[in-house]
Structure 1
Amino acid sequence: MAAACSGTAVPVWLSEDDLSCIICQGLLDWPTTLPCGHSFCFQCLKDLWVTKRAGVDGCPWACPICRKGPSAKPMLHKNPLLQDLVDKYRQAALELEAGPEPEPEPAPAPRSLCRPTPPQETVRKSNTKVIQELTELVGQLVDITKSLQTQRPGLESGLDNALGILYTDSSSEEEYSLDSPRLVTFSASQKKIRAILHNLEEIRENLHGMHGGVPRQETRQETSGAQVQEMSSPLCLLPDQRCPVPRKASHFSLWAISPTFDLETISCILEVSNNCRTVTVSRGLHYYPPSPGRFSISQVLCSQSFSSGQKYWEVDTRHCSHWAVGVASWGMKRDQMLGRTMDSWCIEWKGPGQFSAWAMMKKTDLHLGLPEVVGVWLDLELGKLAFYSVADQERLLYECEVSSSSPLHPAFWLYGLKPGNYLEIKQLNT
């Protein structure tokens, strides 16, 4: 990289993906570049060629990305420029992780001038005061959230603006039935309110217990009584506005589907089950008939396409260490990664602390735990895409807008290429 002038460094913004090996998904180690221009770790490429000697179209030394290569094994040389970039990136990442050097602590005063204070007593007083202040603040937040929760939809248009949640504004006195698609759409915002309220009440309960407040069991009884009172209220119009809510999947049951993987798009690194609902990292390059729609990296679309209406499906991710789940148009470039194009959206898990969402080529970090089963809700009438962690209590992971000039397909990406890793589309009862 050339500097603007001698002694001046030009800042360059790189992400880990820019310097990663598509085979191991880690930073390049002793990078080697093939004649086609694609670069990999030397050992990763060597191991891949040894374990997958079948190659592609009779070429045993094919590039894992573009599938091109000479008939004779090429000489692999280290790319010094890439290695230098990787070393600098790794050093910068370590410095950022370490943070600034701590300032030296001031020298203690002479013992003769100080009256020692019992440290445990000081900490106890400080903690008690903080807990009391937090309890008061949480109590205020609970009251505010409850007041928002009891407002009827459509009569308080500022509700979601206050919470930063987008929903369909309804200025009329239109009646909502329990089977209405608009009810399900609005329930997403109400679900967030209930989740916020639930978390706040748990925090308040724990704070009470820490400084001798109301016993935990008594607090639970009061909460249960409030729920019973809400269930008998005549204003209980929405199931997740006032009443206990069943699994989110039951709300989406009218739109539940079980899509199947498309063999014309699946990468040769992957293979599917007989029912086309499980995709697995293959132990060797799998042969599929030539197709212009086939991905060159470990991705696959589903055969089903959607241009209108609402759809919901679930994906079991428990048996895949690194994955991405989302939607994409059929026109998505086959050498591009899911979420890194203007016509694909996804959430991806690359390990603890590496959970994110990609929309309009922008990354959003998700500070949440691993979702074992992901529910995907696509509402093309409102142009919304939402991802849920599906368990006993559903949790919204991420929500965004989608817009595409062509139909959208369920899309998947399996990272790491560890043989045996797989994703499964669940068979839902529709």
Structure 2
Amino acid sequence: MAGLDSGLTVPVWLAEDDLGCIICHGLLAWPVTLPCGHSFCRGCLKRLWGAGPSWSCPTCREGSAQPLQLRKNTLLQDLAIKYSRAVGEEEGAAGQTPSPAPGPAPQPPGRAAPQSVTAPRNITEVGQELAKLAEQLVDIVRSLQSQTQLPDSGPDNKLNIPGTADHSLASPKLVASGTTEKRMRDILHDLEDIRGKLQENFLGKECLEEQRQVKILESPPSTSCLQTDQGRLASCLVRGFISPTFDLRSLSCSLEVSEDCRKVTVSYFQQPYSWSRDRFMTCQVFCSQAFSSGQHYWEVDTQHCSHWAVGVASWEMSRDQILGRTRDSSCLEWKGTSQLSVWHMVKETVLGSEKPKVVGIYLDLDLGKLAFYSVADQEKLLWECTVPASSSLHPAFWLYGLHPGNFLTIRPVRA
């Protein structure tokens, strides 16, 4: 074994077949050794066994009626890693597949040749898997949270003491349940934060690489006719004022909408919506209306939501992505940490620390422009940018999902 430590040269007695898994015919990955002495990839063995009811060795059939504890064989793992590195260095030095080393025993007849070593996955693929795992964890915690949800008031919530007026003591059960609920909210908050960071840092990496190769055409948030000429602003907005409605096909299972489809709320419970490839995995939703030409303006009341994004996107936007982190979506985002940003062409620009109570979105597809306004008291231009006219755009919304009960409302058309 000392020979392995002195370098990465493959020992003459070691062949890839000696470190192979008979299930996948590849080099051992996270190898585990059963009581009978045979070793396999941990993932291959778990998939082969499935749900039982018997757990036996694929080679000798020695098994058990109970699931076995699979522990990593660190020696085999180290050998597999060093073998893979040594083969890679030899192939790189020779510029071709190396010749077999002299002396190894010939491959037994009838045994399938192991596949070549799979190249390591890039960081984007790993990030995508981590983001999907975080999404599953969020769903699990939300499900547990819904199962332990207690009513706000009721006979079980208080212990009334006879002979007293307007005095009550919280029951121990309620205190314990409240503590559990708080822990779940904290866990959910942390998981949502991890998921958001993973999606921002990994799922958008490919788009960020493309962005470096493409010149971004965008207008700075400077003076414009819509900001300086209040009369013209009012005229433009009145002509194009609409009240779009939320599209139930794209609605995330973490959201619910009002009967008139103009109010979207973060739900306390996962909604049993039927599966659809158009449905978002995160707390996002599109509007049914699609715009490919003309001028359109709508307003969103954001006062009752702690973390949100509003903007536009094409219907083809990936349902596991976040608004603004793709090349076919743009948005204004309030982070809930006193930071207002705009996301455009997978690029974030921080605008300030003041949260707009009502956001106006103006889309002029004839000129290829998108503008965001703060319109609670008076119209104030926050940002203006260029948008492509290659596909139809839908109003799009993201509610962060950390606080059930948060909601956004599409304001009605002005009289």
TM-score of the two chains, using structure 2 as the length reference: 0.49
TM-score, normalised via structure 1 length = 0.47
